[in-house]
Amino acid sequence: MLDNPVRHSLAGTHRQWAAVAGHTARYPAGVAPFMALPDAAEPADWDQLIELAGEDDVVLVNPPDTVPPTVTATRRLLALQMVADSTLLPSVDAPDGFAVRKLDEADSAQMLDLAQRTKPGPFGPDTWRLGAYYGIERGNKLVAMAGERMRPPGWSEISGVCSDTEYRGFGLARTVVTSVVGEVVGRGDQPFLHVMEDNVGAIRLYRALGFTVRRRIVIGSYRKR
C-alpha cells in the first residue's frame, strides 16, 4: 500500500480527485503535483501518463527503477517514509499565548501564504481540501499548520508541516502534528509521512513523536524526451 501511496489514494479515499487515463492517474494541479503508475508499469502506461500530465512534469513517489527511452528524468529527491504506532503517539498542547484549531476554507488564503513563505513541500490553493488541517494562531495570524495529504486506505499522510520563521523554537510543529494525528487515529487510520533525507531537524522531531523509518523513497520528476 505505502510503496505506491499516490495510486492507492487516487483509487480509494481520493477517487473524487482522480483524473484517470488507462491505468494511470493524477491529482489536479492545484491540489497536488503527484501522479501514479500501476505497480508493474509498461511503456504504454508512461505514454498515457505523460499525455495526462500535459504541460506538467510527471511527478512520482517511488517511481520504477527503469524508464522507457522516450522519457527523461528532470529531478530526483531522496526522502524517508516514516510510520507511527498510533497507540504510542503523545498529545502536545499549544504553548501559552497560542491557540490551535481546525482550519477551513476561510483560512485557505493564510494557509497558502504560510506555505509559500516556509516551503514545507508542494502546497497549492486547494491542497487543504485533501483532509483535516490544524493551525496555530498568534492574534489573527496563522503561524503554524499541518494536515493530511495522501490517504491510501487505512493510512493518512501527515503533510504541510510548517511554522513561521518568527515563531520557530516554540514547539508549534509538535502541537499541529499531534493534533492532525489525533484526528487520523480517531477514525481508525494510521499516520505516515515523507521527509527529505537531509532534513535532520524534522527527522529528529518525528522520531521524538514516535515515528520510525519504514523505508527510503525516491520522489522523481519526468518529461517526454
Residue holding cell 476554507? 105
Q: Average of pLDDT values for 159-177?
A: 95
Q: What is the pTM of this model?
A: 0.94
Residue range 36-83, pLDDT digits in tens? 999 999 999 999 999 999 999 999 999 999 999 999 999 999 999 999
Q: What does DSSP assign to residue 196?
A: E
Q: Average of pLDDT values for 139-161?
A: 97
Of the candidate CATH numbers 3.40.630.30, 3.30.1330.60, 3.30.1540.20, 3.40.50.720, the domain formed by 81-217 belongs to 3.40.630.30
- Tally Cβ neighbours within 10 Å of residue 35: 27
Q: 82-111 as b/e, with b when 16 or more CB fall inside 10 Å?
A: bbbebeebeebebeeebebeebeeebbebb
If pLDDT is split at 50, 70 and 90, which confidence band does 176 have? Answer: very high
What residue segments make up the domains of the chain, in order of their start?
5-78+220-224, 81-217
Residue range 81-121, pLDDT digits in tens? 999 976 666 677 888 889 899 999 999 999 999 999 999 99
Q: What is the pLDDT of residue 85?
A: 78
Answer yes or no: are the C-beta atoms of 31 and 17 closer than 8 Å.
yes
